Every structure is written in structure tokens, then in C-alpha cells.
Amino acid sequence: METATEAAGSAAAASATTPARVALVGVHGFGTHHLRNLQRLQAAGSVSLVAVADPQPPAPGALPPSAAIYQGLEELLTATRDLDLVIVATPIQTHAPLALAALATDAELYLEKPPVASLADFNRLCTAAARSGHGVQIGFQSLGSHALGAIEELLAAGTIGTLEGISATGRWVRDRAYYTRSRWAGKRSINGVDVVDGVATNPLAHAVATALRIAGARTTADLASVETELYRANDIESDDTSVIRIRTASGLPITCALTICAAESVEPYVTLQGSAGTAVFHYTEDRLTVETAAGRTEETFGRDDLAENLLAHRGHGVPLTSSLADSGAFMLVLEAIRTAPPPAPIDPACVRWEGEGDAAHAVVVGIEEALERAGRQHATFSEIGLPWAVAAPVAFDIPAS
Ligand SMILES: NC(=O)c1ccc[n+]([C@@H]2O[C@H](COP(=O)([O-])OP(=O)(O)OC[C@H]3O[C@@H](n4cnc5c(N)ncnc54)[C@H](O)[C@@H]3O)[C@@H](O)[C@H]2O)c1
């Protein structure tokens, strides 16, 4: 007869060899990235994509034959048993109801960023997650970078001296087609439902999340203040060019200066401002550059895949890399943006349009230098006196946790 230890051993062996049953909600857009990743994991034998849900059917041949197709998550969950993992990669305003439905099953949840579109929904989701006992991973994939461990080590070793501040700089290009691709693009809300699709909460959200993680700010208790100064060059509701100034509970300033109205896209970066040097982390490339009196070094790191990390959490209790609770500090930033006055339009005289038709994109004149100064000086665009910066920083009242 099998002993308890042997039984536990064979159960572990079985779970190590049985592919995790996965469902993907949202197969187009960023869902295609998850499909590719799931195909990789399925080929390695660690997952089986058993079902997908999307009102727009997937392209023929886009799914492995194992996957059933449903119009929505409700139908999928009615027809599918024993899921280990549900991945939600749908528009922001759908995250809360879909995440709550997924948490009512026995599966772990991978929820794309930003987690949800309001702090109230975040609190609701945290309660549901705690009740379910299941892991919720938020799709801030830059947090899986091994460079973050190297940054912790260099800070502990005093390589750049004392950490005095952090800046996050993002300058991307998004054309008109980006805003016409879906009805929620560039919206603050749709029919009273929050969307909060702004530069700091969607395209460059990783810059904010990565800066917060480096500062050690994870939960809502880790921030002392958040100020926003939001602008837009595009004809949209939400902001496309903004400064977010944060102070952590331990007093560290973090300034995020972000635009999707640059002349050219440059990979975004987080700068650690030390008393004896700087470290610059290009998080999309896992590249870390350190500059001190001793010289300049550059190293590129690997990264852990967040879906694999979540499966390891389910299987063996491995800590989550980007847990829902640890997105609390980010959610305070999102709430500050959600509740701020609408972004100030940038004077068209200070905006240049490049390209034609749907490929045309706005360029805020001189934005590159403005972002650098804002980050370096922890100042907003109005504080550095830019001609178009007619708004003022808005302080967010952080709710008591
Ligand atoms: N982690 C990243 O780097 C990254 C990058 C891009 C987008 N995202 C996030 O991914 C999510 C999706 O963004 P997108 O630009 O791909 O959006 P999208 O508008 O292209 O929609 C993605 C898919 O979701 C489907 N969908 C819409 N409502 C649905 C519902 N109720 N149930 C099932 N499917 C539904 C759409 O038909 C579409 O196929 C957003 O949260 C976005 O912020 C993350």
C-alpha cells in the first residue's frame, strides 16, 4: 500500500506531467501575444489551451485543435470544467466583471494591465481574490526581468550611493489608427463605465509600475502622495502627454514623464538617481546601464514569464512576481488619473503633425527635452515653464487604507 508521503509524491509527479488546463479570454490584439506564449508552453507540455472566448472569432488556424471557441466567458465557464488558469486580455473596462467571474471558478487568474479601471473595483477584486484563495497575476511583464534583482543588489552594495529619486521616461509614437482601432481607445469612460485609457495607465503603464517596484512601492500603503498633470495633443478624451509625481511612504520621489506624441519612438527607461551615480533600466529590453565615477557598465538580463510563474505558484506555491495586491500602488496612480480633471489640450501651435491620414501622428514640439527635465528635476511641465503647459499639478487625496 502507498504511504502518505508516496501518495503526495505521486500526486506531485502527476501534476508535474499533466498539462495545466488554460482558457484565454480575448484572442485578438494583445491576446495574440498570449496565444503565441501558450503555443510555446503547449509545445513544451506544460499547458493545454482548452478554450477561448471572444465575440470576434479567432482567425482560422490561430488556435491549437484542443481549443473550443466561445463568444464570451460565461458560455466558456458553463461548458468547461477543471480549469487551472484563466487569462484575461480584453479591453480595460471589461476586466472587473471578467476577473470576478474567473475568480468564482477554481482557476488561477492572469489579468492584463491595468488591473481594473477604478480603486473601488480593485478593492472588490482583492476581496474576491482573498476569498477564492487563488493567485492573481497582473500582466506587468517587465516585473519578471532579472535586472530587478541586479538593481536590488547594486542598491544594497551602495554602487550608486544613496538612492535620491527615480524617474520614468517614455516617449513613444502612436498614430491616429491607434485611436480608431477600438471604441475604448483614448477614452476616460464609456457610458459612465470607467476606462482610463491614458498614457500612464495603458501604453506606458509598465514605466510607472516598474519605477514603483524599484522604489519598493507595492501596496496602497506604500505611497504618501500622487500628483498628476495631464495633457493631450490628440483629439481624444484621455491624456497622451503627462507628468505623474509620486512620493513613497519612505519619502522617495518618483516622477514619470510620459508621452505618445514623440517625434520618434525610443525604448522607455527608468532612471535611478543616486548620490554617487545613476542606473538606467530599459525595461522592454531588460538592459541595465550603470554610470559612476568608476565608469559605465551595461548588461542585458533574462526574464521570467509571468504565466509560467503563475503556474509555478499554483503547483508549488512559488511567490507571484506581479500579484494583484502588489499592484495597489499602481492602482492609486490610476485612481489619481481617473479622478483628475480632464487633460488640458496642448495649443495646436506647439503640435506638429507628421504623416498622412490614419498614419498621421502628433508630435509635441520639444517634448524630448521637456521629459528629460521633468524627470531630472521632479517637476511638472507647468513648473518647468513650457509654453503649452497651462495646467497645474493636481494632488490626489489618498484614501486611508
Ligand atoms: N502587457 C502588455 O504589454 C500589454 C500590451 C498591450 C495591451 N495590453 C492589455 O491587454 C488588454 C487588451 O488590449 P487590446 O489592445 O488587445 O484590446 P482590444 O480592444 O484589441 O481587444 C482584445 C480582444 O478582446 C476581445 N473582447 C472584447 N470584449 C470581450 C469580452 N467581453 N469577452 C471576451 N473577449 C472580449 C476583443 O474582441 C479583442 O479580440 C488591455 O488590458 C491592454 O491594456 C497589455
| Residue intervals in the chain for CATH 3.30.360.10 | 146-303+324-396
Ligand 1 within 6 A of 90 CB?
Answer: yes
In eight-state DSSP terms, residue 92 is: G
Distance 182 CA to ligand 1 centre (A): 10
The full DSSP string for 318-385 is PPPSSBSGGGHHHHHHHHHHHHSPPPEEPPGGGEEEESSGGG-EEEETTHHHHHHHHHHHT--TTTTT
Distance 268 CA to ligand 1 centre (A): 22
pLDDT of residue 14: 42
β strands within 189-249, DSSP E: 189-190, 193-194, 223-232, 241-248
Query: Which residue from 71, 67, 56 is spatially nearest to 23, judged by alpha carbons?
Result: 67
Ligand 1 within 6 A of 27 CB?
Answer: yes
In eight-state DSSP terms, residue 145 is: B
- Rounded to 10°, the helix 328-339/119-132 angle is 150
pLDDT of residue 106: 97
pLDDT of residue 353: 98
> CATH: 3.90.870.30, 3.10.450.50, 3.30.360.10, 3.30.1490.390. Which one for 146-303+324-396?
3.30.360.10
φ, ψ (nearest 5 deg) of residue 63: -115, 155
Ligand 1 within 6 A of 56 CB?
Answer: yes
Distance 359 CA to ligand 1 centre (A): 21
* Residue ID of nearest Cα to ligand 1 atom 10: 89
* Residue ID of nearest Cα to ligand 1 atom 4: 30
Place of cell 519598493: 216
Per-residue pLDDT of 160-174, as tens digits, reads: 999 999 999 999 999
Contact 240, 260 (CB under 8 A): yes
CA pair distance 115, 99, nearest whole angstrom: 9
Ligand 1 within 6 A of 71 CB?
Answer: no
pLDDT < 70 stretches in the chain? 1-16, 401
Query: For 4-141, CATH number?
Result: 3.40.50.720
pLDDT of residue 66: 86
Distance 375 CA to ligand 1 centre (A): 30
| Residue intervals in the chain for CATH 3.40.50.720 | 4-141
Q: Helices in 55-175 by DSSP H: which ranges? A: 73-79, 95-103, 119-132, 147-156
Distance 276 CA to ligand 1 centre (A): 42
Buried b (16+ CB within 10 A) or exposed e, 258-273: bbbbbbeeeebbbbbb
CA pair distance 387, 288, nearest whole angstrom: 34
Query: Which residue from 280, 274, 319, 295 is spatially nearest to 156, judged by alpha carbons?
Result: 274
Distance 73 CA to ligand 1 centre (A): 14
